[in-house]
């Protein structure tokens, strides 16, 4: 893959909030979660789509690194949706806040499902609407959605609803790197990390063989007559 281009244009959208100290505090906590996801697919290609102020994870020839620039994605390739990537190729796709501005979530989630291998992992980081931290991005053009709405969109896009896992990341209020967790108080952290697997195709079970039953004893006369083509009586007379 081509090298990632760092000489990008400044992001004039609401996603530019992530360049502020408050936004950097959120992104810094998510770096460890990104590393854990990538460690789970050491042999397969992976893709990262992130906001401009975020540093992409260390990549190589098996990675695709993209950022939104207006309506386009730029980085390893420059494109729009649909992604110019082969279907069922990637072991993991990571979306780091690229859907927090209100762009078409369904189209991008469906593309992620298409390029992931069966059983591949989608990791989605998004702002938490229930966090006190939301006061820091209020009025910046960002849209936070609850886990329930994300779960419904992921199921419609083709992901297994039973495999969805949630984790809360980042600070509660102070603009500094926070921790992560799944406890009750962790649910008020600044961001939500959603991990979900793509549905694997169901195995078609083999058609069961019809069991043959052997009957002992004398056969009923009607069955013998049918087996002989109905001429049992004529043969008996002969």
Angle CA 198–97–120, to nearest 5 = 15
The domain 14-197 is placed in CATH, from the list 3.40.50.12780, 3.40.50.1100, 1.10.10.10, 3.40.50.150, at 3.40.50.150
pLDDT tens for 50-100 read 998 999 998 788 899 999 887 889 999 999 999 999 999 999 999 999 999
Paired tokens of 211: 């069991």
What is the enclosing helix (H) or strand (E) of 169?
strand 165-170
User: Omega into 82 within 30° of 0, i.e. cis?
Assistant: yes
pLDDT digits (tens, 9 = 90+) for 187-196: 999 999 999 9
- Higher pLDDT, residue 235 or 140: 140
pTM: 0.78
d(CA 73, CA 226): 74
């Amino acid at each position: 893959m081509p090298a990632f281009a760092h000489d990008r244009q400044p992001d004039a959208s609401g996603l530019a909030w992530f360049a502020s100290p408050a936004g950097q505090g959120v992104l810094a906590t998510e770096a460890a979660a990104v590393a854990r996801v990538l460690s789970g697919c050491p042999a397969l290609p992976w893709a990262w789509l992130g906001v401009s102020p975020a540093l992409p994870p260390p990549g190589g020839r098996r990675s695709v690194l993209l950022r939104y620039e207006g309506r386009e994605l730029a980085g390893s390739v420059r494109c729009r949706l649909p992604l110019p990537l082969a279907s069922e190729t990637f072991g993991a796709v990571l979306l780091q806040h690229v859907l927090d501005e209100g762009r078409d979530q369904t189209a991008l989630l469906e593309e992620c499902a298409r390029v992931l291998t069966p059983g591949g992992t989608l990791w989605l980081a998004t702002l938490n609407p229930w966090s006190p931290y939301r006061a820091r991005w209020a009025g910046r053009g960002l849209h936070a959605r609850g886990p329930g709405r994300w779960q419904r969109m992921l199921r419609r896009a083709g992901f297994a609803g039973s495999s969805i896992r949630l984790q809360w990341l980042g600070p509660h209020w102070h603009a500094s790197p926070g921790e992560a967790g799944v406890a009750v108080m962790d649910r008020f952290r600044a961001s939500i990390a959603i991990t979900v697997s793509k549905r694997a195709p169901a195995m078609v079970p083999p058609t069961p063989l019809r069991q043959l039953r052997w009957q002992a004893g004398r056969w009923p006369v009607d069955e013998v007559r049918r087996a002989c083509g109905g001429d049992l009586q004529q043969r008996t007379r002969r």
